[in-house]
Homo-oligomer: A and B are copies of this chain.
């Protein structure tokens, strides 16, 4: 299996404290040693770092940890390979362009027989069930909406129905972004925490490091982290329900119902 980490914030945020915890699970405190990746939005484009090496010892992860790259929307993934060999092409997050925007996707779970579905426009580079499912979703979204729809909730409904459809093939926990919104779907395991004023302290489960967010964040800052498993103690992580679909922007939940 794999682990996911996403961030949605109303200011360009530094994810390194939380990423430091996730990173340990890629070969040290966890078994997800078959590569890792992170995509950070900057406008409609992304910076991405991928490495088929374990995040715990990856030199690219080490560089990322020493850099000061911030973003309002981030998706990261550490991999334990099930389907598809360990190589760069099979390393999440995957990305594709639609409407002149980068779409980014990372998945935890397995999808049996998903490759029986036909693809039209988007073709996987690698051999994972995950990238195949992503290409299928992108195909359907492009077909329904050749241009970004004026009514965003129509898009949200389509993504949710695609998530429910693909979830029938197995386990489909995912994070997805279209450069404006972060979409999170819980097949069987996903949780989230929102950090906002008044800020407190948190302790990373995997390293024991403690941070006092009041030293790093301002009164109006809001950020939400979404992860496969809680990364910190001393914070309230909320579990998503099976089949639950959530949308975030600027760190805040968006109301799905019309």
Closest to A123 in B: B100
- CB distance B100 to A124 under 8 Å? yes
Which residues of chain A (87-142) have a CB below 8 Å from chain B? Answer: 87-89, 96-102, 121-126
Range for the number of chain A residues in contact with chain B:
20 to 34
- CB distance A125 to B96 under 8 Å? no
Copies of chain A in the complex: 2
Alpha-carbon distance between A126 and B101 when the two chains are bound, in angstroms: 9
> Which one of A40-48, A207-215, A234-242 is at the interface?
A40-48
- CB distance A102 to B88 under 8 Å? no
Set of chain B residues within 8 Å of A102, measured between Cβ atoms: 125
Q: State how many angstroms separate the Cβ of A177 from the closest Cβ of chain B.
A: 14
Q: Residues 152-193 of chain A: 1 if any B CB is under 8 Å from the residue's CB, otherwise 0? A: 000000000000000000000000000000000000000000
> Which one of A17-25, A59-67, A216-224, A250-258 is at the interface?
A59-67
20 A-B residue pairs with Cβ-Cβ distance under 8 Å, sorted by A, are: A42-B87, A42-B88, A42-B89, A43-B87, A43-B125, A44-B89, A44-B126, A45-B50, A45-B125, A45-B126, A46-B88, A59-B67, A59-B68, A63-B63, A97-B122, A97-B123, A97-B125, A100-B123, A101-B125, A121-B121
Q: State how many angstroms separate the Cβ of A148 from the closest Cβ of chain B.
A: 10
Secondary structure dominating the interface of A: mixed
Set of chain B residues within 8 Å of A63, measured between Cβ atoms: 63, 67
Of A50, A88, A98, A121, most buried by chain B (CB within 10 Å of CB) is A88
Closest to A41 in B: B88
- CB distance A88 to B45 under 8 Å? yes
| Also in contact, A125 and B44, with CB within 8 A (given A67-B60, A67-B63, A96-B97) | yes
